Amino acid sequence: MTSPLLIPFILTSEKDVIIADINRWQDCLSWENRSTKVQLLALLKEAKEFRNLYYFRLFKGNFLGRFFMYLIKIFYPECPYFFLDNSCHIGAGLFIQHGFSTIIMADMGENCWVNQQVTIGHKDKTGRPKIGDNVRITAGAKVIGSITIGNNVTVGANAVIVKNVPDNAIVVGVPGYIIKRDGVAIKEQL
């Protein structure tokens, strides 16, 4: 039974962001439309990566929601192979597909999509990545350092990105390079 997981949701100041996450996951997973609380419980049971995102959102909220989050984490633990750094700012609608061995230590915009075995984070003490809205980072990609990834960007599988990426681009390769920008096929180094 997962109903105790609703207590912090009812108490948190982060309800709107959590509801946006629920709606995004429902859409990405092509799940039937159900009430918010029923969908939340289904996601917390079926999608373990969502549970980590839920706890991340609760941590960002008010004291009462955070307090109950710590209590329920004893009985409903986080997914151990997916890590979200609590110091980050992550916009609403983050979708994690197969979050196995995934680390996110970045500030991210809204409606991003991250696949498995992705590493996003610091290269050194100079800072972490800043990722725009509607960015998709696919399997095995690495986004490292104090760089900016623009809006509407796709980072290809196993790409290594250590330089800024402009808006509306698709980047692939090691080191990463642009293969499409604003809908036009190109080959441009970052």
pLDDT > 70 in the chain, percent: 99
Q: By residue range, what is the domain housing residue 20?
A: 3-75
Indicate which CATH number applies to the domain containing 148: 2.160.10.10
Mark which of 45, 75, 105 sits at the end of a domain. 75
Tally of structural domains, the chain: 2
DSSP codes joined into one string, 94-134: -EESS-TTEEE-SEE-SS-EE-TT-EEE-SSTT---EE-SS
Do 129 and 57 reside in the same domain of the chain? Answer: no
Domain check: are 100 and 69 in the same one?
no
Query: Do both 60 and 146 map to the same domain?
Result: no
Burial class (CB in 10 A: 0-12, 13-18, 19+), 10: exposed
pLDDT-derived band at 93, boundaries 50, 70, 90: very high
162-185: pLDDT as tens digits = 999 999 999 999 999 999 999 999
Tens-digit pLDDT profile for residues 111-129: 999 999 999 998 777 889 9
pLDDT of residue 106 exceeding 90: yes
- Local confidence band at 99 (pLDDT 50, 70, 90 cut-offs): confident
Residue with tokens 């690495």: 142
- Report how far residue 143's alpha carbon sits from residue 5's, in angstroms, rounded to the nearest whole number: 33
| pLDDT tens, residue by residue, 45-68 | 888 899 999 999 999 999 999 999
Give residues with Cβ within 8 angstroms of 74, minimum separation 6: none
Confidence band of 2 (pLDDT split at 50, 70, 90): low
Are residues 100 and 55 part of one domain? Answer: no
